[in-house]
A and B are shown apart, each in its own frame.
Chain A
Amino acid sequence: MGTDRHHSEVPRRVAATSLADVPLSAEEGFILSQIDGKTSVDDLELITGLGGESLGAALERLLSLGLIETGPVVRPGRGVARPAIVPDRPPTEPPAAGERLRAPGGFRPTQSSERETRPAPASEPRGAAKQREGTSRSQRTPDSRREAPEDASGPREPDPGKEAPPGIDADGKRGGEAARESSAGPSMPPGARVDPATFTEEALRRIDTFLLRANSADFYRLLGVGRQAERPAIRSAYFGLAKEFHPDAYFGRTLGVVKPKLERIFRQITRAYEVLSRSASRKEYDVYLKGQAVLGGQEEEEQAWAEEERRRSAEPTPPSPEAAAEAAVGSAGAAAAGEPAAQAVAPPATGPAAGPPLSSPADQGIHTGARASVPPPRGGPSSADAWRRERTVRQLAAVLSGGRRRPVQDRRGADYLVEAESAAKEEEWGRVVGLLEAAQRLGLNEAEATRAGALQATAAGQLARISAGQARFAESTGDVEGALRHVEQACKFGPDVADHWDMRARLLLRLGRELHQARDAAMRAIRLEPKVLGYRTTMIRVYLVAGLPKNARREADAALEIDSSDRQIRALLEEAKSALE
């Protein structure tokens, strides 16, 4: 805290911003994923668990990138003045919001209670959400998939009756899920009223906050414990939350739409606890978190998670590899595991035990099929799905590290290749690279190897490009260290792009350390693109800083042979000469 930000401000996503090329840090990505036009800055702080200052800084970066907008201007938290962004569209909050904004005690609580109790408009957004869901299901072309998140992240009218957790329904699907969840309980008529006496505004606010966390945060963050927390601390955290969010805490009272929310939160914290309280599953989960970070080329898993959420909710999973993966991995308490088709024997004539025969002419019995292109189960919309993914990644991580875990036996490299290809469609390049690596380790035939090679090149190129973009952005914000980390990724994935090496050299130079590395990098850039004077300039500078004026002079001479008129190089040459004397 300690900034003069308006805590009640509600930032919104700007429509149709493509996120593919935006240089965001993991933290910023995570924050962006939580911005939905409903969550106030104050709540963001609560949800993301970030301190006010770093949140403020991140918000401003997002603002300056034009990714978000806000009605009232977000004032800089500290330091350099940032460009103030004037909203180019009317605020999406209803006019009344302004008044509430000024009211003491903040804006959110009022809003959330409103949202819970206003019954009328409930059906519309739900329907719409369902429709969106339907659309994204029926048109499974890559194009519609790619567009889905963008068009949905546009400005939305406030949905007072919608139960979707604020912050996640940045795209159609999540809303759809909320609708599914809400339609589940037969005991809960749509738009059921909440007895105002049951909940304090504070309680409602906490419920919404935790609903949000339940849907997006990792298990540690959800329970509010550190990664190193001991079991008793985890248990204590879980028990505290369980006491608060178990529906029995409100036994006998009218809960209306809050009930499914409580149940959802409770389910998720219970799962978090169950995973984290057993050392085996916790270890696996840690590997998963790490894998998310490593494979995604991210510093922080949150971004990976948030990305995951965003993409997941935007489109259905492409068929087969995932299911195959699960068959291999085996059931681990996840929502949906594919069943071997071998079970599909002829159905019996009647039901078991006392089940009277059915009068319907229909065939009786259904069989479990490979869970293919279906949206995540209601049980845990995002996380259950993420968990399925997580198992794949976990396996993968084990394979990659040659780990102690039982190697995947009944999975061929080809399965990984197929999965990599579908990951490519989702533009999850980090995963693509990891999956390809696994595929190659497990063995591919010739045709597959060619496919893998081509895909690897694409993925590497994309990763390099993204990393470079992030590096440039980081550099522009003065985060040289961060920029260096990104550029190292860029060099790793795109070693044949001179620009990456040059940038690496320049960054090392700026930090004034590991100059031999800077020299190597600069040299590589020059080797790749001998004609570019800019790379030569970097080289000369490296020599000068390193106290090697002779080398600097030689380099400058060589550069002037390409273009003798370059003033900068001439100046550097002079510098080298004077240093020599």
Chain B
Amino acid sequence: MDKVIGIDLGTTNSCVAVVEEGVPVVIPNRGGYKTTPSIVAVTEAGKRLIGHIAKRQAITNSENTVVAAKRLIGRKWNSPQVATSIAMYQYRIVEGPHADVRIQLREKIYSVPEVSAMVLQEMKIIAEDYLGEEVSKAVVTCPAYFNDNQRQATKDAGLIAGLDVIRVINEPTAAALAYGFGKKIDRLVAVYDLGGGTFDISLLEIGAEGVFKVVSTAGDTFLGGEDFDARIIDWMLTDFQTAHNVDLRQDRMAMQRLKDAAEKAKCELSTARQTEINLPFIISTGRNEALHLQCQLTREKLEELTADLVQQTVDICANTMDEAGLDVEDIEDVVLVGGMTRMPKVQERVAELFKREPCKGVHPDEVVALGASIQGAMLVAEKSELMLLDVTPHTLGIMVVGGFFEPLIPKDTTVPTAQTKTFTTVRDNQTAVKILVLQGESEKAEENELLGEFVLTGLRRAPKGEVEIDVTFEINADGIVAVSAKDLETGQEQSITVTASSGLTKDEVKAMAASSHDYMVERRKGESTEKNRQEIESLISEIERHAPQVEEVVKGSEHGSEAMTKAKEVVEQARAALRSDKPDAELQEILDSLRRTLRMFRAVLA
């Protein structure tokens, strides 16, 4: 059976895990880290960098380094979040052909799912290296409060990365799976997930039967560590401006340094009471003159700067419990997920809200990926011990006359589900209706996310209000929404499977997947070439190290000098090959002859 990996595709960091012999484990990357920065960069030479290395070069290449692509995924060009991101990040965000968002890196324009796909591909490679086999299936997580378009975009990213995303699950849900895995507990749990870019709160019932039922979920897909960083940056900028009357915003490199420093300071303040931010030569003002940024940031100051952000999360939590009809006393445990929950103030406020100390048993950075891998394993298992009952996080409905939104499936409905409502015409002799499928909580249709639309035609000509149309919404276990409308009289029926738009057409996704595959092949090839070259080098040096001794031994023997000449020739050839750009096959041949030579040398010396 194919292994299914679980990928936590985070805003700032990603993590991959797999279930091995019934135990979920996080797979470290080549650097030995368990998480990989979700950062993609393209160098001047056109080389693609992902992860830690991309993060390290960000200061000098901030224009071509994409961070927090997740904040843009599945969003429309004209959304306020995109506007905020444009102001916040150094890379070029441009409008795509379907009113979607694209990112320009050097000369090339990428869609957001493509960028996310690069990260997913990296995670795939990490898993493949670890498992020693190809991986094709994955469960990918997304914030619980993502809408269908954002989920679809995440799926597309998987597809582009060459992964069959068998399920997209919610991050807090995944965390709860990992938390309750193998514990046989009966508990109502709150998962507070404050990550790099998003905030989610989910309430789950966990049963000893191995069932995890989401009771309620809410969040903000644009509230996370990045916003905390932004507050620190703003503070530093203002300080600096007051002190030196210089606006650092104009200097990309300075901004990138500030960003790094802010993040670092924020992390340090989780343990330290205060920290020093020291950025010498932050900007040069005229000849031979440079300004330095030096300041102290205390924990109190940070808390003050970000108090409203923490408050927002607390409010959302309180609201959710209210909506679910639950009291604080009903919550039996609180699980903290996401790097931001390391901040003492966050822990304090959460403990205050839920009137209990949060559970310390899970690793906030790894638990989501672990949960995703558990879900993957349990889906493909012949007979699974676990079952996840998830909900639809947003209300689904259609637009009715007056531009109002008429809900059909309320938020927090356990899926699979289906609902039907009857509607009627608003005009005399109306022969068609347009069904606009929307998702969101606003009463006004236009404020909600449009998922799809279709037209039901062939209605009988009749006075308004006489023709009745049944509209049915169905959400299956995969979260796929199907909507159908039926004229009750004529039996005319129209339906669509709502393929939420990620901003990409199917063909585009296909093409991107193909090019990404090509890149993979190239890269794998490049890797093997690199490996061969390294081996050649080490063989040469070993041969040369043995050469004097061997020469000593074989001196005087019949074929001794001939053999030595031959060996020298081989080494020379190899050196030449290293200097030129030989194809892989030739390198192989050279490797073979080098190995033969070394074998011979060893035989002589033995």
Q: Please give the residue numbers on chain A whose beta carbons come within 8 Å of chain B beta carbons, in ascending order.
A: 130, 134, 137, 180, 183-187, 232, 235-236, 239-240, 242-243, 246-249, 251-252, 263, 266-267, 270, 274, 278, 280, 333, 335-336, 339, 343-348, 351-355, 358, 360-369, 371-372, 374-375, 377-379, 384
Contact = CB atoms under 8 A, between A and B. Distances in A.
Contacts of A251: 166, 379-380, 477
Nearest to A251: B379
Contacts of B423: 366-369
Interface string B454-482: 01010000000100111010101100101
A232 B446 CA distance: 43
B62 interface: no
A274 B391 CA distance: 13
B381 to A, nearest CB: 9
Contacts of B489: 137
A355 B398 CA distance: 13
A235 B205 contact: yes
5 smallest A-B Cβ distances: which pairs? A362-B432, A377-B420, A352-B446, A345-B402, A369-B424
B401 A366 contact: yes
A252 B410 contact: no
Contacts of B389: 242, 246, 270
Contacts, number: 214
A263 B450 contact: no
B604 interface: no
Contact of B433 (A130, A364, A379): A364
Interface stretch (B114-122, B282-290, B491-499, B558-566): B491-499
Contact of B472 (A235, A358, A372, A378): A378
B358 interface: no
A353 to B, nearest CB: 5
Contacts of B124: none
A352 B437 CA distance: 10
Interface centre among B401, B435, B482 (most CB of A within 10 A): B401
B403 interface: yes
A263 B476 contact: yes
A354 B482 contact: no
Contact of B436 (A335, A351, A384): A351
B403 A348 contact: yes
A252 B207 contact: no
Interface class of chain B by DSSP: strand
Contacts of A187: 476, 480, 482, 497
A203 to B, nearest CB: 11
A130 B486 CA distance: 13
B465 A378 contact: no
Contact of A239 (B213, B410, B477, B480): B213
Contacts of B399: 351-352, 365
Interface residues of B, number: 76
Nearest to A342: B402
Nearest to B486: A180
B434 interface: yes
Contact of B401 (A246, A333, A347): A347
19 contacts: A130-B491, A134-B491, A184-B484, A236-B207, A242-B387, A248-B387, A249-B387, A339-B406, A345-B401, A352-B436, A352-B450, A355-B453, A358-B434, A360-B432, A362-B432, A366-B425, A368-B424, A371-B421, A372-B468
A278 B207 CA distance: 17
B453 A351 contact: yes
A366 B424 contact: yes
A351 B472 CA distance: 20
Contacts of B497: 186-187
B426 interface: yes
Nearest to B469: A366
A455 B448 CA distance: 49
Interface stretch (B155-163, B303-311, B411-419, B526-534): B411-419
A354 B76 contact: yes
Contact of B493 (A183, A236, A352): A183
B404 interface: yes
B270 interface: no
B400 A360 contact: no
A354 B472 contact: no
B184 to A, nearest CB: 12
A343 B421 contact: no
Nearest to B435: A366
Contact of A367 (B205, B388, B424, B474): B424
A353 B149 CA distance: 14
B493 to A, nearest CB: 7
Contacts of A185: 474, 476, 482
A346 B76 CA distance: 28
B384 A344 contact: no
B400 A248 contact: no
B426 A184 contact: no
Contacts of B549: none
Interface centre among B402, B434, B472 (most CB of A within 10 A): B434
Interface in B298-331: 325
Contacts of B380: 251-252
A123 to B, nearest CB: 14
A232 B404 CA distance: 41
B438 interface: yes
A369 B438 contact: no
Contacts of B421: 335-336, 368, 371, 377
Contacts of B444: 352
B211 interface: yes
Contacts of B495: 184, 186
A363 B427 contact: yes
Given A236-B207, A343-B402, A377 B472 contact: yes
Nearest to B471: A366
Nearest to A369: B424
B430 interface: yes
B500 to A, nearest CB: 13
B588 interface: no
Contacts of B416: 246-247, 263, 266-267
A82 to B, nearest CB: 44
Contacts of B569: none
B207 A248 contact: no
Contacts of B438: 352
Contact of B418 (A263, A358, A369): A263
A415 B430 CA distance: 31
Contacts of B401: 343-347, 365-367
Contacts of A183: 493
B406 A374 contact: no
Interface centre among B76, B419, B468 (most CB of A within 10 A): B419
B268 interface: no
Contacts of A343: 400-402, 404
A362 B424 contact: no
A252 B379 contact: yes
B210 interface: yes
Interface centre among B205, B387, B496 (most CB of A within 10 A): B387
Given A343-B400, A351-B450, A377-B419, A362 B433 contact: yes
B495 to A, nearest CB: 6
B590 interface: no
Given A358-B434, A374-B470, A379 B400 contact: no
Given A187-B497, A251-B379, A365-B399, A379 B472 contact: yes
Interface in B56-75: none
A243 B418 contact: no
A232 B186 contact: yes
Given A364-B433, A379-B472, 15 more contacts: A130-B491, A186-B495, A187-B480, A239-B213, A242-B389, A247-B477, A248-B388, A280-B325, A343-B400, A363-B426, A365-B433, A366-B433, A366-B469, A367-B402, A367-B426
Nearest to B430: A363
A344 B402 contact: yes
A117 B354 CA distance: 52
A29 to B, nearest CB: 29
Contacts of B445: 351-352
A364 B420 contact: no
